[in-house]
Amino acid sequence: MLRVILHRIAGAVPVVLLVTLITFGLMRLIPGDVSAALGGVSSTPEQREQIRHNLGLDRPYYVQLVRWYADLARGDLGRSIFLGKGVTESTFERLPVSLSLSAYSLIITLLLGIVSGILAALRQNSWVDQAAMIFAMIGISLPNFWLGLMMIVLFSVHLGWLPTGGYVPFQEDFLGWLRTTTMPAISLALLQVGLLARITRSTMLEVLRQDYVRTARAKGLPNYLVVWKHALANALIPIVTVVGIIVSLLISGAVVTETVFSIPGVGQLLTSAILNRDYPMIQGGLLFVALLLVGINILVDIAYAWLDPRVRYDGG
């Protein structure tokens, strides 16, 4: 097991290096002059020179690159121009908000997705199956920000049940947190619910056809034991591998959902950075999210090896 973990971490090193290089390169690809964009059209050449100097852009590329890695090694992602604070600091400040929303959404995804997928597989081709698959199809096709907006129109503007946006930390007021995060979490979850339901259904169908399931039935085990113990345990293995994809989609979706519901999370931080052309913040934020995902994928792979002895003994 330890070998699998080490192997997987070592495998991620080139990816991490490339990710840092891509983020570094991306910000140097900006056509024209960053300082003109940041200083505004009325800025004087001296002001622009000062901006370039402050960002270290007046140095040769290799010096910039060395400084980039030196700063990264200290966990320093630069300073946000608009917030006047460190990128790492502002990201970590907002992180709990995004994490609580994503966790809520992930719980909805796992519950609805796996349960509806199993039900559909157990009653293949029945109306339950068809209803679940139509629901899943709608889930993967509805744009999450549109769904969010329509929920605001219905539940906030017309019915006045829930606030149109904002965020209350759950440690302060749990009910307030539920009131502000339920609509965003649902609109964020729907795509992943659809994907997960479809994947769960097809893996369950495949597993239910296996010999060991037939054996379990033949030896007279009650149906629920066959389904929950024999079939689901094996169907979960491929499902775990898609959790990485699901988390990636959650983070992507959260960028938009946080903007729709005015939730002060990392996604909103990044969107406003992009709209304000706050380049250090964009660079740092992109890298932060990418590294987070690389880390999550390593964890997923380790979980996969832990669940599936075949992977473990082959050395991953």
Partner 1 sequence: MAESAASLEGVASHGPPAARASRRWETGGRLLRHRSFQIGLGLFLLVALAAVFVPMLSGVDPNKLSMRTRFEPPGSEFLFGTDNFGRSQLSRVVHGARLSLVIGSWVVILNAVFGTLLGALSGYFRRLDNPLMRLNDALMAFPAILLALGVTAVLGRSIPNVILALAIVYLPRTARIVRASVLVLRQTEFVQAAIAAGAGHWRILRRHILPNAMAPVIVQLSFLFAYAVLTEATLSFLGLGAEPPTPTWGNIMAEGRNYMREAPWIIAIPGGALAITVLALNLLGDGLRDVLDPRLKIQQ
**In the complex, which residues of this chain contact partner 1 (CB under 8 A)?**
14-15, 18-19, 21-22, 26-27, 29-31, 137-138, 140-143, 145-146, 149-150, 152-153, 157, 198-199, 202, 206, 248-249, 251-253, 255-256, 259, 270-271, 274-275, 277, 282, 286, 289-291, 293-294, 297
Nearer to partner 1, 72 or 249 (CB): 249
Report the nearest approach of partner 1 to the CB of residue 220 (Å).
29
Q: What are phi and psi of 234, to 5 degrees?
A: -85, -30
How far does Cα 52 stand from its chain's mean position?
A: 33
DSSP-assigned letter for residue 264? -
Long-range contacts of the stretch 37-42 (C-beta < 8 A, 24+):
37/277, 38/81, 38/277, 38/279
SS3 content of the chain, % helix, strand, coil (to 5): 80, 0, 20
User: Quick check: 40 and 52 in contact, CB under 8 A?
Assistant: no
Nearer to partner 1, 86 or 267 (CB): 267
Report the nearest approach of partner 1 to the CB of residue 144 (Å).
9
Nearer to partner 1, 78 or 253 (CB): 253
Distance CA 256, CA 21 (A): 26
Q: Is 302 exposed, middle or buried (0-12, 13-18, 19+ CB in 10 A)?
A: middle
Widest CA span in the chain: 84
Report the nearest approach of partner 1 to the CB of residue 13 (Å).
10
Report the nearest approach of partner 1 to the CB of residue 72 (Å).
15
Report the nearest approach of partner 1 to the CB of residue 225 (Å).
25
Nearer to partner 1, 105 or 177 (CB): 105
Nearer to partner 1, 30 or 66 (CB): 30
Nearer to partner 1, 109 or 177 (CB): 109
User: Quick check: 20 and 69 in contact, CB under 8 A?
Assistant: yes
Report the nearest approach of partner 1 to the CB of residue 39 (Å).
17
User: Quick check: 308 and 69 in contact, CB under 8 A?
Assistant: no
